[in-house]
């Protein structure tokens, strides 16, 4: 079994910014040349989540509004005695830092409307790293 890892960097706006990772993940799968296997997308950050979503403006905005209802930015957080982004850490922990997608016939087995997205919950623009590891 071969393992191929690609590292990407990107800029985000923070504040629930949703970034479509599908093109870069698909390119990593193409480059790996794997017919059948697994692709893992992981972010090494504590205020970013990765999930699957229909990437369109309404759904992206809905997600931001849902996380605001679940984990309000203005609520009190113990972390905020040393920082200003307690809400972002909690949101990221709930969403999780990775997704795995099967690779079938050399392609990501995503549904028609499914995209792999990064959501940056931090309260300011950031530079982010994304690991895409393909095994097969
Ligand atoms: Zn913090």
What strands, in cross-sheet order, belong to the sheet with 126-135? 3-12, 126-135, 37-42, 98-104, 107-108
What pLDDT is recorded for position 14? 97
Query: How far is the centre of ligand 1, averaged over its atoms, from the C-alpha of 123 (Å)?
Result: 10
43-93 per-position pLDDT tens digit: 999 999 999 999 999 999 999 999 999 999 999 999 999 999 999 999 999
As a whole number of angstroms, the distance between CA 47 and CA 45 comes to 6
CATH of the domain at 20: 2.60.120.460
Taking only the tens place, the pLDDT of each residue in 110-126 is 999 999 999 999 999 99
Give the tokens for residue 14: 């923070």
φ, ψ at 80 (rounded to 5°): -75, 0
Residue 1: is its pLDDT beyond 90? no
The domain in which residue 126 lies consists of 3-135
- Residue 73 alpha carbon to ligand 1 centre in Å: 13
- Residues whose Cβ atom is located within 5 A of ion ligand 1: 83, 85
Domain count, the chain: 1
The answer for residues whose C-beta is within 8 angstroms of residue 2's C-beta and 6 or more apart is 32, 34, 135, 136
């Amino acid at each position: 079994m071969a393992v191929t890892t690609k590292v990407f960097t990107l800029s985000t706006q923070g504040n629930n910014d949703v970034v479509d990772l599908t093109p870069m993940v698909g390119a990593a799968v193409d480059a790996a040349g794997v017919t059948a296997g697994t692709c893992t997308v992981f972010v090494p950050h504590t205020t970013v989540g990765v999930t699957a979503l229909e990437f369109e403006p309404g759904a992206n905005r809905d997600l931001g509004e849902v996380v605001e209802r679940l984990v309000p930015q203005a609520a009190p957080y113990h972390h905020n005695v040393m920082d200003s982004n307690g809400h972002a850490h909690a949101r990221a922990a709930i969403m999780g830092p990775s997704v795995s997608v099967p690779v079938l016939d050399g392609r990501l087995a995503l549904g028609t409307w499914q995209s792999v997205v990064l959501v940056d919950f931090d309260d300011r623009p950031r530079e982010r790293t994304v690991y895409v590891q393909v095994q097969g």
